[in-house]
Amino acid sequence: MKVSFTSSSLVKPSKPTWNGVMQLADWDQIGYISHISTVHIYKPPNKKENSIAFINTLKESLSRLLVHFYPIAGRLRWVHGGRLELDCNAMGVQFIVAETKAKLSDLGDFSTSSEMLSLPPSIDYESTSLEEHPLLYIQITKFQCGSISICPAMSHVIVDGRCASYFLAEWAKCARGESLDFLPLLDKRVLRAGEVLTKPPPPDFVPFVNPPLLIGQNSTKQEREKETTVAMLKLTKTQVDLLKYTANETRPDKSGRPYSRYETISGHIWRCSSMARGHKAEQKTGLGISVDIRKRMQPPIPQNFFGNSTIDVVSDAYSGDLILKPLGYAASKIRETIDKTDAKFVHFTIDFWKNQEDFGPFQDVHGCDGPFYGNPNLGVTSWLTLPFLGLDFGWGREVYMGPVTHDIDGDFILCPDNSEDGSVIVRACLQVPHMKAFKKLFYDFS
């Protein structure tokens, strides 16, 4: 799909904001140092609706919103030890307007169309330094049929998924002319509020362990270079309930709370991936989990805190155990890893990162370096409880919302189906030779 760009400008806060350097939490700077995009597609509420007026409303309301969310209008900069800090300088966010002669019908069911790759902002990481990049890019694309897409790309250093959805929800309220529900809490000290002095972490405490390598390999280079493919797989509510029933009926420990959707579906994906990849029984495999710590801290972190509040942890098992044992075993390994991520673990983690001299080995800059969750590993991210769906900027609910495709092996995202009937969409990325077998195993619930 050909897209023509009609304008690109910086949107700055509509009023003066605090200016200065904001220190970032250490774990903000670990992992994926890049932008994460979503796509939201809207049809005009009536034929007479003026898309130009709507886009102007989006731009003006964004400027007003940035007065409160002013860190997102700043710039990152490198400091010693591979660390980053945030310069709150109100330089603004990039607002791009484009148009295409295509119609929505040309995108098919949206989720499987390669044409969707024209909708998010294209960010040139190669020729432009990190310090020069806005923390938020927004591309608005007008279709010939009158519909538009809104595609924000937000720096993962500044926000996690919950904060991104919070920002977009407040922007939608501004665009509709409504007042904000909650002003953002920007003080990073809440991450250590209520901390009780305890014994220091054990000398061998490491919150992050590099995922295992394939047997016989001494680096991830070979696996990183293999071609990947993406599939969108739907689980109906009935299928989700069946998987949860199977997991709970086959759990190693019959006591305790039932397994969640995330634990169950992720365990199913883990087993299917190990089988589809043809792992040996003795192959160790890791599953990366992003754990939301807001409710795990004492006291809990306020819901309007604007910053990363997730910790990445890795559950590991032998492929032979995952394959030969029932689903309940895989779900139990995931539960075990999530449950260990309590307030004490978080405080130990903060101290661990604070004492690191060089962050470089722990950072994945633009998806090219750092820990690799491809074969024999995977990462499963859940959007199931994030309020991305139903964003109304003044044109009603979107006709489609979803992640922008990544082509990283082992990358899985769980999304609620747009029908909101309890179905789950699994966005799967695997190496090309493994996808056919994975899709077959994925729907075999025996």
Cα torsion 152, 155, 161, 167: sign = negative
Residue 406 annotated to the active site: no
φ, ψ of residue 42 in degrees (nearest 5): -130, 145
HSE-CB for 157 with a 13 A CA cutoff: 28
Kind plus residue range of the DSSP H or E element containing 295: none
Q: Are 403 and 383 in contact (CB under 8 A)?
A: yes
Which residue type does 85 have?
Answer: E
Q: Pick the catalytic residue from 35, 40, 68, 156.
A: 156
Q: Where are the beta strands (DSSP E) in 15-142?
A: 20-23, 31-33, 35-42, 75-79, 83-88, 93-99, 136-142
Closest CA to 234 of 416, 429, 8: 416
Q: Which residues contact 338 (CB under 8 A, 6 or more apart)?
A: 263, 289, 291, 313
Q: Are 30 and 352 in contact (CB under 8 A)?
A: no
Q: Which residues contact 150 (CB under 8 A, 6 or more apart)?
A: 39, 40, 41, 42, 58, 138, 140, 393
- Helix, strand or coil, per DSSP, at residue 250: coil
**Alpha helices by DSSP H, 23-124:** 51-65
Q: Are 388 and 38 in contact (CB under 8 A)?
A: yes
Q: Structure tokens of 139?
A: 């591309």
Q: Burial level of 324, CB count in 10 A (0-12/13-18/19+)?
A: exposed
The Cβ of residue 118 has, within 10 Å, a number of other Cβ atoms equal to 19
Crossing angle of the two packed helices 327-339 and 237-249, in degrees rounded to 10: 90
Q: Pick the catalytic residue from 106, 241, 351, 392.
A: 392
DSSP sequence for 184-246:
PB--GGGGGTT----PPPPTT--S--PPPPPTT-SSSHHHHTS-EEEEEEEE-HHHHHHHHHH
Going by their DSSP bridges, the two strands 378-382 and 411-416 should be labelled as: parallel
Closest CA to 410 of 431, 389, 386, 393: 431
Q: What is the C-alpha separation between 176 and 179, in angstroms, rounded?
A: 9
Cα torsion 49, 53, 55, 59: sign = negative
Which sequence positions are flagged as catalytic? Answer: 156, 392
